[in-house]
């Protein structure tokens, strides 16, 4: 599948990196997760990125994830591989691996360990673009992992590097940044996607967002909101979004721990194990609030494990 005809749009959902109780990559759960996302109607897959805990994966685990995602998707929808790395050399290696595996595109933040200067960021994305022939997303995330790039700079890179074509915008206020990008963008910017669990999905759609990259536990609901909006039924889209919003907000506080707990309860992955250095886990109050909110959205689930 390529991006030659129409720009990508829609819900490009992010599978988690599932671990077993010993903390090892659970490949069987990952394959179920990809199948779940596809059956839920996702328009694309994106991993490993921040919501996939890419920052705690070994290089070998990232490569294994790349091949599993591409193999399991089997060309049914675009597969975008996260290639963020501390150096341009590592990012280029991940990008080439993604292309050789059959991915449809890649997504990268600027170097996230030692932050690069503006010239360094420019050279980093140029190196990725020169190394592959796939469409590239610039992921513009806030610190500490991200670098909060100015809209004009990202548009410049889309114009000057053939394969840098999309932007995922997550810096606050996201709506203002999306508007600034689209006002400056020419045809070289093929689309701006929202992130941050699609917390500002509706106002970002009003501003012209091409799609969203949320974690995958509610893919079926995000797709329903998208479809309602596309069909012009804005009120029903807003009602459904507002039903989901408490869980989006809870995810903003509890991060991957909440996402994985929901996926376990939906029968998609076997364990909620995370590798976060702080060992953050849900306590009984978190579980209680999550369960109350899940009761509100469960009627809208369209996929069972």
Active site residues: 168
Q: How many residues does the chain have?
A: 305
Contact (Cβ atoms closer than 8 angstroms) between residue 109 and residue 145: yes
CA-CA distances (angstroms) from residue 116 to 31, 74, 119, 136?
Answer: 35, 36, 8, 19
């Amino acid at each position: 599948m390529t991006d030659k005809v129409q720009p990508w749009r829609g819900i490009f959902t992010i599978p988690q990196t599932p671990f077993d109780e010993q903390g090892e990559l659970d490949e069987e759960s990952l394959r179920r997760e990809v199948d779940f996302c596809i059956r839920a109607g996702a328009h694309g897959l994106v991993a490993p990125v921040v919501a996939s805990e890419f920052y705690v994966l070994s290089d070998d685990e990232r490569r294994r994830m790349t091949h599993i995602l591409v193999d399991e998707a089997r060309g049914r929808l675009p597969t975008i591989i996260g290639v963020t790395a501390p150096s341009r050399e590592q990012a280029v290696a991940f990008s080439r691996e993604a292309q050789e595996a059959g991915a449809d595109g890649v997504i990268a933040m600027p170097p996230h360990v030692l932050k690069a200067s503006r010239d360094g960021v420019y050279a980093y994305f140029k190196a990725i673009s020169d190394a592959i022939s796939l469409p590239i997303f610039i992921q513009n995330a806030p610190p500490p992992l991200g670098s909060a790039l100015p809209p004009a700079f990202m548009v410049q890179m889309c114009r000057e590097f053939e394969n840098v074509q999309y932007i995922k915008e997550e810096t606050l206020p996201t709506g203002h940044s999306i508007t600034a990008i689209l006002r400056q963008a020419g045809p070289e910017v093929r689309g701006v996607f929202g992130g941050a669990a699609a917390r500002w999905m509706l106002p970002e759609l009003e501003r012209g967002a091409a799609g969203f990259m949320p974690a995958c536990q509610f893919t079926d609901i995000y797709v329903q909101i998208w479809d309602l909006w596309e069909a012009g039924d804005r009120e029903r889209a807003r009602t459904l979004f507002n039903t989901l919003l408490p869980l989006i907000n809870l995810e903003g506080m509890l991060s991957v721990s909440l996402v994985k707990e929901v996926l376990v309860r939906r029968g998609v992955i076997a364990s909620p194990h995370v590798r976060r250095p702080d060992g953050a886990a849900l306590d009984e109050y978190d579980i209680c609030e999550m369960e109350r909110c899940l009761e509100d959205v469960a009627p809208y689930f369209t996929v069972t494990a």
